[in-house]
Amino acid sequence: MKVAIYGQYYQNSTEPIIRDIFVFFNQKNVEMVIEADFLSMLYEKELVKKEYKTFQSYDELDNTFDMMISIGGDGTICAQQL
């Protein structure tokens, strides 16, 4: 399984959710590809230590992804038909 993870911004209230998502997907050997700016924030907050593949734009997400998770923000995603 391959999952894209996007985070618009980081809030302290989302920290437990972020940890749970990463622990769960890592235990299940799910390939996670993280939006580059969000991953930088996670490294700064020391929420993740492992290296992950990144994407910078939804244009880089293709039909090889099984799902996308959006953390934070209002949940809106600008997307196009893949």
List, by residue number, the catalytic residues. 74
What does the DSSP assignment read for 44-67?
HTTS--S--EEESSGGG--TT-SE
Could you identify the residue written with the tokens 């920290």? 15
> How far apart, in whole angstroms, are the C-alpha atoms of residue 55 and residue 37?
9
**Residue 56: φ, ψ to 5°:** -110, -20
